[in-house]
Amino acid sequence: MPTEFISREITIGNLRLGGSQPVRIQSMTNTPTLDTDATVKQIIQLVEAGCEMVRVTAANIREAENLKNIRNALAGKSINIPLIADIHFQPKAAEIAACIVEKVRINPGNYSGSHHKAKKYSDTEYHKELDKTAQNLKPLLNICKRHNTTIRIGINHGSLSDRILYRYGNTAKGMMASAMEFIRICRDDNFEKLTLSLKASDVPTMIQANRMMVREMQKQGLDYPLHLGVTEAGNETEGRIKSAMGIGTLLAEGIGDTIRVSLTEAPENEIPVARRLVEFYGCRHTKHEVKISYAPYGEISVQRRPAIALVDETKISLADKKMLLLSYSNLPHRDLLIRAAVDFNLAYESKKADGLLIDNGQEGDSRHLKELALEILQARGLRYSKTEFIACPSCGRTLFDIEKVLEKVKNQFGNIQGLKIAVMGCFVNGPGEMAGADYGIVGAGYGKINLYKEGKILFKNLPEEEALDILEKLILAK
């Protein structure tokens, strides 16, 4: 684990971030960016829930330009929350947005626009492409300097550039290297107003990438603030546990200046989870009680054993297997799942165990505690006791009812061990970010879905219901 890392403090609009500032909470709208009224309404809901920065997608030039109307409408209501434009493939949209909003998020994996088609990169080709990327980025850096706009270098595990994949593979190290490429370009141009994010849907990868980033920054004397998040975490308990485990583990060791809990739900639902995470793990002065202990399975009373979630149920001789015990005192469920997910991961990283037993100081039926423990083992990638879902939180690019579709898919196919299904809002980023999924449901247009199997597209532009029927047939035929 890295030694203490103190980031530099920067200002984003009227908000101070990094250094000794509190961990800031942010979210993202999922309304169409061209629908000014709906987007403003959602931003106000987020502000009222306690959100401190809001990201809005700007998929093209028109959307980037409409950020001005959103900004003005908010100002008319005396709301000055910093806005962040989310940019993927369109440098021009970033340049327009940077004149309007306080921060622009770019994704190095798909920002440069030039994709080398060959499978291999010689050193010369690698550097040539990087030089081209630097040229593409220069106009944005100049605009950001003039307008005092911050840039977030937003790395996603699922969308690393081809040249990074060639050199490092789809790894945590590749994520860190991708961030370093863009940091160097910015520093060569004397641009320093940066924040960084390294996100993945796989929790251990997300944690590892951020730790590597901090170590690398410490080695190079850099101190850019970090934004933490787990991508495609999904919804309900599953989404909260994955986000909590990734974000909370890092916050507990002093890493992270701003966080987003991505849920495939109404964006304002993210804020209470984020607030609890900050309160539990982001405030260096508050200590919360948790009793962590270990016991051999054979020494745990017969009455308590049904609540144990084993990492490997096929083990025949359990008596001397080591169980990790987490004990709380009557925590409400919404807090228990956050605390148990983070505390388990912190404990497990320093001392492995063969099973997890959660105690909340209550008598009676403990089935819900076993379910929670199984969810935690699954989020950590230790045991897959049901279908694994990855689902993006949706944004202004989503043109179908992703929440409804995710709910239906979960109801229909939620309990198949070893199966991984992705539900993604758009075909621009969705396919790249659902790597490893057996099946993918990806938004294709208004109410339309593309269906993927093992990364390959099988059907295009299906109505929602038809897509689910076909998915059922595919899964049954497997």
Question: CB of 395: closest distance to ligand SF4 in angstroms?
Answer: 3
User: Which one of residues 252, 392, 422, 423 is an interface residue with ligand SF4 (CB under 6 A)?
Assistant: 392
Q: Which stretch binds ligand SF4 (CB under 6 A): 77-85, 129-137, 359-367, 423-431?
A: 423-431
| 248 part of the interface to ligand SF4, by CB under 6 A | no
User: Nearest CA to 55 among 115, 9, 12, 23?
Assistant: 12
Instruction: Quote the least distance from Cβ 399 to ligand SF4, whole Å.
Output: 9
Question: Which residue's CB atom is positioned nearest to ligand SF4?
Answer: 425
Identified binder of ligand SF4 from the candidate list 271, 429, 450, 468, rule CB under 6 A: 429
Pick from 55, 397, 410, 448 the residue near ligand SF4 by CB under 6 A: 397
* Site membership for ligand SF4, residue 31 (CB under 6 A): no
C-beta of 432: minimal distance to ligand SF4 in Å? 9
Which of 151, 307, 342, 424 is the binder for ligand SF4 (CB under 6 A)?
Answer: 424
The minimum distance between CB 477 and ligand SF4, in angstroms, equals 28
| Residue 394 binding ligand SF4, by CB under 6 A | yes
Q: Quick one: 296 or 445, whose CB is closer to ligand SF4? A: 445
Our CB check for ligand SF4 shows the closer of 195 and 398 to be 398
Among 395, 419, 451, 468, binds ligand SF4 (CB under 6 A): 395
In whole angstroms, how close is the CB of 297 to ligand SF4 at the nearest point?
42
**Six token digits for residue 413:** 């196919």
Which of 251, 253, 254 has its CA nearest to residue 230? 251
Closer by beta carbon to ligand SF4, 134 or else 423 = 423
Count the residues of the shown chain that bind ligand SF4, applying the rule CB under 6 A: 13
Regarding 393 and contact with ligand SF4 (CB under 6 A), the answer is yes
d(C-alpha 267, C-alpha 269), whole Å? 5
Among 18, 109, 430, 440, binds ligand SF4 (CB under 6 A): 430
Per CB under 6 A, 235 contacts ligand SF4? no
Stretch touching ligand SF4 by CB under 6 A, among 173-181, 211-219, 379-387, 420-428: 420-428
CB of 259 or CB of 395, closer to ligand SF4: 395
Q: Which residues bind ligand SF4 (CB under 6 A)?
A: 392-395, 397-398, 424-426, 428-430, 433
